[in-house]
Amino acid sequence: MEYQYHTLNNGIKIIHRQIAGTVSHCGLMVNTGSRDEGEKENGIAHLIEHLIFKGTNKRKAYHVLSRIENVGGELNAFTTKEETCVYASFLSRYYNHSLELFADVAFNSIFPQKELEKEKDVVIDEINSYNDSPSELIFDDFEDLIFSGHSLGSNILGNIKNIESLKRKDILRFVKSKYSTDQMVIASVGQIKFSKLILIAEKYFGSIPESKSTFTRIPFNNYNPTKLIKPKNSYLTHCMLGNIAYSRNNHNKLPLMLLNNLLGGPALNSRLSMVVREKYGYAYNIESMYQPYSDTGVFNIYIGADSKHVEKSIALVKKELAKLSDNKLGTMQLHRAVRQITGQLAISGESFLNEMLGIAKAYLHSPRVKYIDEIIGDIERIKSSQIQEVARDIFNPNQLSTLIYTAEDQ
């Protein structure tokens, strides 16, 4: 079945693909995240994600959580730098349960003071736990380094001082200003006719007054390559190097996705893995990542290695980056890289939950969502010259930033 689209009178958009099966997936995604916070409210978007399950005008926390889980479903939520999402997987006959609950927590949450204080402690524990994991923390610290002074660099979890100072009135003000109906998408992949889904959405969301976004995201345009070394209480030395990259709608996004996958993607035979880990055994872990945002992006390479191997690992990484910048991929190399990433995309598309979350995000930012077959077709048309052009741009050694966590006793 094709993707089907509808917009409620209040501006909330709906996207759906009907499938055969007993399990369906549905979510409500809002176009707001940690980059939309003020400096003193960093962490508030993620805290709200916790608090929407803690009570509404007609439900206590237990009843919110039980609404889906009592019928065997799974309820969850997440916050990114640009989105907040609540979603569920459930037996297909429970669409009413799910959409009614989404509307209730999104528009009727009361954020009880007692629950606010409890969730502050939970989030602070989460922050402390995160700080104990340098292999995870370095990703956020690296973005803070390259997006210095901009809200894109702020940690999604926030900082303990800010979390402790947030008050209920701050929560209510943020929700009122950011949770506008024209910035919301209901996404569904499941066994239900679109006409019936619209009726259910109209029932629970249709009476919500229209609200339009009044906030504007400040674009990031002040990148300065930086090198920073920080002592850390860990056995391994952790290293990150990278650059700002292309935004979500940039024409070079797909070539960089392919290049990233070839260089250090999840496959065990990526270039960095084969050289740094398999050939020399220098790194316990090495991978590369590309994350596009609405106005910019970030490309990074992570290395986790014994301190005596870090500089050697960095040298090998830079050598591989230079190869891709100086030489076009051969016909067979390009064909193999395309086959690998398109195969991975096809496999990821087999997860209907992933598909639902993917189309929700895509429809927030675009009037039409591409099918996987269309994306694969676009990838198959990428030329070696495009990949080399992207490599020269993103892998420019004069534009790379570096962050290294060293053991404190070194």
**196 and 244, same domain (yes or no):** no
**235 and 355, same domain (yes or no):** yes
User: Residue 409 has what pLDDT?
Assistant: 56
**107 and 236, same domain (yes or no):** no
Tokens of 69: 């889980």
**pLDDT tens digit string along 354-401?**
999 999 999 999 999 999 999 999 999 999 999 999 999 999 999 999
Domain annotation covers residue 143? yes
Domain annotation covers residue 216? no
Domain annotation covers residue 73? yes
Domain annotation covers residue 192? yes
Contact 155, 410 (CB under 8 A): no
**247 and 358, same domain (yes or no):** yes
User: Residue 268 has what pLDDT?
Assistant: 85
What is the average per-residue pLDDT within 229-256? 94
User: Residue 361 has what pLDDT?
Assistant: 97
If DSSP codes are grouped into helix, strand and coil, which group holds residue 217? coil
> What's the CA dihedral at 403, 219, 34, 345 to 10 degrees?
-80
Distance CA 7, CA 280 (A): 55
Distances in Å between the Cα of 103 and the Cα atoms of 14, 28, 366 are: 13, 9, 23
DSSP 118-168: HHHHHHHHHHHHHHT-HHHHHHHHHHHHHTTTSGGGS-TT--HHHHHH--H
Q: Provide the β-strand partners of residue 91.
A: 23
Q: Is the pLDDT of residue 68 over 80?
A: yes
Kindly report the average pLDDT of the chain as a whole number.
Answer: 95
Tokens of 193: 């006719």
- CA neighbours within 13 Å on the CB side: how many for 363? 29
**11 and 62, same domain (yes or no):** yes
Domain annotation covers residue 128? yes
What number of helices (H) and strands (E) belong to the chain? 15, 11
If DSSP codes are grouped into helix, strand and coil, which group holds residue 348? helix
**15 and 164, same domain (yes or no):** yes
**pLDDT tens digit string along 184-221?**
999 999 999 999 999 999 999 999 999 998 888 999 99
Distance CA 37, CA 26 (A): 27
**198 and 244, same domain (yes or no):** no
CA 2 to chain centre: 25
User: Residue 352 has what pLDDT?
Assistant: 96
CATH of the domain at 76: 3.30.830.10
Domain annotation covers residue 339? yes
- What is the 3-state secondary structure of 362-394? HHHHCCCCCCHHHHHHHHHCCCHHHHHHHHHHH
**267 and 357, same domain (yes or no):** yes
What is the average per-residue pLDDT within 227-242? 92
Domain that holds residue 333: 227-407
**237 and 195, same domain (yes or no):** no
User: Residue 74 has what pLDDT?
Assistant: 97
DSSP letter assigned to residue 300: E
Number of domains observed in the structure of the chain: 2
Domain annotation covers residue 315? yes
What is the average per-residue pLDDT within 10-28? 97
**139 and 63, same domain (yes or no):** yes
Contact 360, 82 (CB under 8 A): no
The phi, psi pair for 245, rounded to 5°, reads -140, -160
Domain annotation covers residue 138? yes
% of the chain beyond a pLDDT of 70: 99
**pLDDT tens digit string along 292-334?**
999 999 999 999 999 999 999 999 999 999 999 999 999 999 9
Contact 253, 292 (CB under 8 A): yes
pTM of the complete model: 0.94
User: Residue 235 has what pLDDT?
Assistant: 84
Contact 184, 12 (CB under 8 A): yes
Which of residues 205, 237, 259 is at a domain's end?
205
Q: Is the pLDDT of residue 410 over 70?
A: no
**121 and 269, same domain (yes or no):** no
**186 and 245, same domain (yes or no):** no
